[in-house]
Structure 1
Amino acid sequence: MGNKQGSEFGGIMVRTEKSIYFAGDVVKGNIYLHIIKSGYHGNVVQFSIVGKEKTRWQTGSGKNSTTHYGKNVFYEDTVVINTFLDEKLMIGQFVFPFQLDLPSDLPGSFYYSDGLLASVGYKIKVQVISTSKSINDIKNEQEIIIREPIKEILQVSQEKETANLSTWCCKKQGSCSIIAKVDKNLYQPGEYIQIAYDIDNSDCKLNIRNVDVIIMSRLNIRSNSGSQYRVEFKINSFSQNGIQKGTKLQSSASTGCSLQLINAKHPAIVLTPSTAGNLVNFSYHVKINPNFEGCTCCSSKPIVQVPTTLLEVLPQDYQEPILQPENWQPQAFQPFIIKSNSTNPFNNNNLKNMANPMNS
């Protein structure tokens, strides 16, 4: 995973126990170093982790088009894992176990690239630093996925909207209110959201033909210059019958429904959890959209949006085995514990992918 760069002198690789972590977790892994030829000028083994946001989108067209860019390195740590006594690396196999404490307020990983770019990504990089201008560093990197932990208290989520209706832009038709709630504010992909809504149409002269109940996702991105862009996606939806003018749907007869958190058009695609970065913000909400009779296109409607958070919950014992090459008999070093130097983060493939020639 990631870019790899070997050398005629050998190769290096980093592998973590898992490919997915939560912010605040402890990342454990190994750095494998295989030197097959003497004469490499450099004896420092360095570890670094970088968290970076990127955005890009275009507005306008032709000569009037503008491309907006955003880049934010919100998390970065670099430490020296080991310094060999000999300034020229000796031939041999070496393994350096490490343990990294992640900050608890990191944003979740995210990637979207259909017509625009919005990404939040993390990479762990390891390298043996060359002291010769004619010899490149021996280096390797691995991407890891980070999810946001539960930050909210589990509770019912509710919103209310009231709007004054008019037809043909100027003919007043009274007001309508809608209260909508979902059974909780935190969900996992594939769960069902229990939705209830009350409609007070007693002061309105318009019938409500039907009510659309929709699960939406929303992507908000920013550039370094402060420009902003928003795009919304319909995840799942259905429609229910409305009510007549001058009537009220009492709370005791609330319209209840259940809607699953899946991509209705592509059910096999697992929904991406919510993330809250500086440049990239991805969220979900339940939308209650009433459709009135008559021409109300220039009038406001009582559209209710109830925010929800989508989380990813992994088993407590989730762990991927760290494999090592055949005939691998390394010199093992004591685990290196890395404490984050960042006080404010916002200012697994197999070993066969190791930088060649690993198995020579």
Structure 2
Amino acid sequence: MGNKSGSEFGGIMIRTEKSLYFAGDVVKGNIYLHIIKPGYHGNVVQFSIVGKEKTRWTTGSGKHRTTHYGKNVFHRDTVVINTFLNENLMVGQFVFPFELHLPPNLPGSFHYHQHILASLNYKVKARVISTSNSINDIKNKQEIIIREPIKEVLQVSSKQETAYLRTWCCKEQGSSSISAKVAKNLYFPAEFVQITYDIDNTDCKLNIENVDVIIVNRLNIKSNSGSSCHMEFKLSALSHNGIQKGMKIQPSAQIGCSLQLVNAQHPEIVLTPSTTGNFVNSSYYVKISPNYEGCTCCSTKPIVLVPITVLAVLPQDYLEPIAQQPDNWQPQSFQPLIIKSNNVDPFNNNNNNLNKMANPMNS
């Protein structure tokens, strides 16, 4: 049963009712302990939840090749579920129900592993702590997915940018402005994003040849050494004709379009919701990018990034509890233990919330 270190004495298994939760939810589950042989030295049953970020990427080549690593345990809670009175575990079956109250500010789970590693995950763990140097702990773990709850008010999202352009690095060509808005700021994957924008090119001496409208995902990751990596993925896009120099699109004639929130090249991949980790941060934008005539490569363009938040789609079995109890199971059941986290800052690496909540019961 479970992941059995010290399996000659028995095994332990931890199971939550569901595999996906929102920050602030109550995680209900059970720890199943089955001791099949006497002589195990240890009587403390321990529960823990760990939230961890991991990153890895490579820069340079040859002798100048450098691999950057990041590891950040941003959330940890450990409690004693039960302390048996007998220091040597007796043979038997036991079940320990628990209720874990998640902090409301936890970042969402995330995983990306193509050329780089960007991972933010959560595991719940159960173990019986061995007091013998020659016997391993009996332990088991389960990964749970945590999503961020809606933190924003549903509203129109808009941005405006103005830039002064130059050609061939030095020739002044005036200024150009773009403003854009999306119908709302919160979306589920596969929804259509309604976008409108207008351009003021009256003070610019350059024609805008075309305007690219793109939905992008920006992934920002960090390492323990302080280095960072920024990646931008184009999800879906279209292009419009631009306007001439000295011209302006009036607000009444704003250009409108619609883009689906999908990965156009790989539509079978469901988009991961936005996450706001410390080492792993993934966000989404509608990007309006004009392309001007001439060489403006050394000049800043008025590129507009309108932020949008991608929400989690609940799995079909979200409300259906996972089958938990092992076969042929007739355990002695203990009272549920309610676990409330005191860790108010999920990025406090000095979390000392290792609650020693003994629950001695004579079995």
Q: CA deviation at 1:11?
A: 0.7
Whole-Å separation in 1 of the counterparts to 2:345 and 2:254: 45
Where 2:322 maps in the other structure, the secondary structure is coil
Match of 2:339 in 1: 338
Q: Are 2:295 and 1:325 aligned?
A: no
Q: Is residue 73 from structure 1 mapped to residue 104 from structure 2 by the alignment?
A: no
- Mapped to 1, the partners of 2:3 and 2:106 lie a distance apart of 24
Deviations 1:146-200 (A, max 9, x none): 1111111211111111122232333332221100111111111111111100011
**Paired AA for residue 78 in structure 1:** T
* Most deviating of 57-66 and 333-342: 57-66
| CA–CA distance in structure 1, aligned partners of residues 309 and 272 of structure 2 | 11
Structure 2: how far apart are the matches of 1:323 and 1:46? 19
Aligned to 2:114, the other structure's residue is in SS state: coil
Aligned to 1:177: 177
> What is residue 234 of structure 2 aligned with on the other side?
234
Partner of residue 359, structure 2: none
CA distance, structure 2, for counterparts of residue 61 and residue 252 of structure 1:
53
Residue matched to 2:302 = 302
Say if 1:16 and 1:322, in contact at 8 Å, map to a contact too: no
Superposition deviation, residue 341 in structure 1? 3.1
Amino acid at match of 1:75: H
Distance 1:157 1:165 in 2: 26
Asked whether the equivalents of residues 183 and 195 of structure 1 are also in contact (C-alpha less than 8 Å), the reply is yes
Match of 2:7 in 1: 7
User: Which 4+ runs in 1 deviate beyond 4 A?
Assistant: none
**2:28 corresponds to:** 28
Superposed counterparts of 1:274-289, under 5 Å? 274-289=274-289
For 1:38-53, what aligned pairs fall within 5 Å after superposition? Answer: 38-53=38-53
Cα 1:287–1:35 shift into 2, 3 Å: same
Work out the CA distance in 2 between the residues paired with 1:47 and 1:24. 19
- Alignment match, 1:358: none
Q: Match for residue 128 of structure 1?
A: 128
1:6/1:312 CA distance change after superposition, 3 Å: farther
- DSSP-derived class of the 1:63 partner: helix
How many residues in Structure 1 have an aligned counterpart in Structure 2? 347
Does residue 207 in structure 1 map to residue 207 in structure 2?
Answer: yes
Query: Separation in 1 of the partners of 2:47 and 2:260?
Result: 42
Letter in 2 for 1:175: S
**Residue identity in the other structure for 1:331:** Q
What letter matches 1:229 in structure 2?
C
State the TM-score, normalizing by the size of structure 1.
0.92
The two structures, once aligned, show a CA RMSD in angstroms of 1.9
Match of 1:198 in 2: 198
Q: Secondary structure at the match of 2:252?
A: helix
Measured in 2, the distance between the counterparts of 1:270 and 1:277 equals 20
Measure, in 2, the Cα distance between the counterparts of 1:142 and 1:233: 31
Deviation at 1:291, TM superposition (A): 1.4
Q: Deviations over 1:270-291 (max 9, x none)?
A: 0011111111111111100111
Determine the structure 1 residue equivalent to 2:152.
152
Letter in 2 for 1:89: L
Larger displacement relative to structure 2 (82-91 or 98-107): 82-91
Q: CA deviation at 1:6?
A: 5.3
CA deviation after TM superposition for structure 1 residue 53, in Å: 1.2
Q: Distance in 1 between matches of 2:97 and 2:137?
A: 21
Q: Matches of 2:103 and 2:120 in 1, distance apart?
A: 15
Shift of 1:58: 2.1
Q: State the shift of 1:82 in Å.
A: 0.9
Q: Deviations over 1:315-360 (max 9, x none)?
A: 896233233222111111111111113232211xxxxxxxxxxxxx
Structure 2 residue runs of 5 or longer lacking an equivalent are: 349-363
Distance 1:110 1:37 in 2: 41
| Percentage of matched positions with identical amino acids | 74
Identify unmatched segments of 5+ residues in structure 1: 348-360
